[in-house]
Amino acid sequence: MSERLQPGDVAPAFTLPDADGNEVSLADHKGRKVIVYFYPAALTPGCTKQACDFTDNLEVLASAGYDVIGISPDAPEKLAKFREKESLKVTLLADPDKRVTEAYAAYGEKKNYGKTYLGVIRSTIVVDEEGKVSHALYNVRATGHVAKIIKDLGI
């Protein structure tokens, strides 16, 4: 398990396929601020709520200079289905081997209904124009999270 990221850390570089199979890298966003959020699974209620919230607030975030990238262990085909079904506008990336998810410390022990297991920890990392972490939020709730980020970022 990776150490949780802290503000000031260099964000781990990544290149992953998007819903259409095109490679997307964090480096592609150099000079822009990026909200990278990790979610457990496409087409599930909490993850749908969160992705729709980001999509609904994309213009507000973009006008403040933020790009939004959602990362899950799903295959690109499932991400495409998710995007189409929910009319999502955020960039969705596939991390089936969880390499990037682990590098961002968004994979680890979770507890649910008294059971402990390994899984994706719903997390949001905000990366500044220089590629450094400005905010690192772990174990976030799907509902109300986007509004909280907008408030925290002073948008």
Which residues are marked as active site?
47
- Distance of alpha carbon 149 from alpha carbon 42, whole angstroms: 21
- Distance of alpha carbon 10 from alpha carbon 22, whole angstroms: 24
Report helix, strand or coil for 62: helix
Relative to beta strand 107-112, strand 91-94 is unpaired
In angstroms, the Cα distances linking 48 to 25, 31, 52, 155 are: 23, 29, 6, 23
